[in-house]
Amino acid sequence: MRARVLVSVAVAATIALGATGCEFMSPAHTTEIKQITDGVNVTTGKLDIRNALFISDRGEDARFIGTVINTDESEDITLSIELGGDTQTVVVPAGSRRDLGTNTPTVSSSEGSSAQEGSDSQGTEQTGAKAVVFEGADARPGSLVKTYFSYSGAEGVSASVPVLTNAMEEYQSLAPSPSPTGTATPGAGTESTDGATPTGEATSSGN
């Protein structure tokens, strides 16, 4: 009986030491910082690009989504984004950021140049940024596309940027919109208006 007790104590001590060793050798999960975003983070010179991704439903046109932060407090910076053979630019004022993850806001001319105070230390948020769309881009949903970020005076950087669809709720209104047909809607409205007049005359003549 005593032998069994001693064996049990020895086994328990071995398990405890093993668990302590594993805990000592393995880093705590709280110390592991992971990037919890859909896109990628890129830094070139004094520009930080955060959560960069593309939205494309048909794999033809692709809209760039992300936040561009200018950490230079004295100079405006024009970021060039190259996808395939197409290059789009985004101007980021000194000490400010451009959030390219929302629809183009409706801003009056007096408000277009104003800045709203940003959160944390990421500079002031500049409103009125237009959508950055690459037409005819070979960007199929689910793929990674090579994208080059650069600006004058700094070394550019290439990154594999993910392409998503607007299936997720936060991206539903961000896919590139098809070109509108300007003449179709007015024509339909004119025909429906003209069609109402004969109907009125027919009713009055019936009386």
Q: Which CATH number belongs to the domain containing residue 105 in this structure? A: 2.60.40
Quick one: which of 44, 70, 51, 47 has its CA closest to 125? 70
Does 186 reside within a domain? no
- What pLDDT, on the 0 to 100 scale, is given for residue 169? 82
**Tens digits of per-residue pLDDT, 142-187?**
999 999 999 999 999 999 999 999 888 888 888 776 544 444 444 4
Q: Range with the lowest mean pLDDT among 55-59, 65-69, 174-178, 189-193? A: 189-193
Number of H helices, E strands in the chain: 3, 11
Does 12 reside within a domain? no
Q: Which domain holds residue 157?
A: 40-171
Most confident by average pLDDT, 59-68, 71-80, 124-133: 71-80
- Measured between alpha carbons, how far is 100 from 168 in angstroms, rounded to an integer? 17
- Measured between alpha carbons, how far is 119 from 67 in angstroms, rounded to an integer? 13
- What pLDDT, on the 0 to 100 scale, is given for residue 120? 42
Residue 80 has pLDDT above 70, yes or no: yes
Does 144 reside within a domain? yes
Residue 117 has pLDDT above 60, yes or no: no
Between CA 124 and CA 131, with CA 129 as vertex, the angle to 5 degrees is 140
- What pLDDT, on the 0 to 100 scale, is given for residue 192? 43
Q: Range with the lowest mean pLDDT among 49-58, 86-95, 150-159, 179-188? A: 179-188
Cβ-based neighbours of 135, under 8 Å, separated by 6 or more = 60, 61, 86, 176
Both structure tokens of 26: 């393995």
Does 75 reside within a domain? yes
- How many structural domains comprise the chain? 1
Does 153 reside within a domain? yes
- Measured between alpha carbons, how far is 193 from 169 in angstroms, rounded to an integer? 38
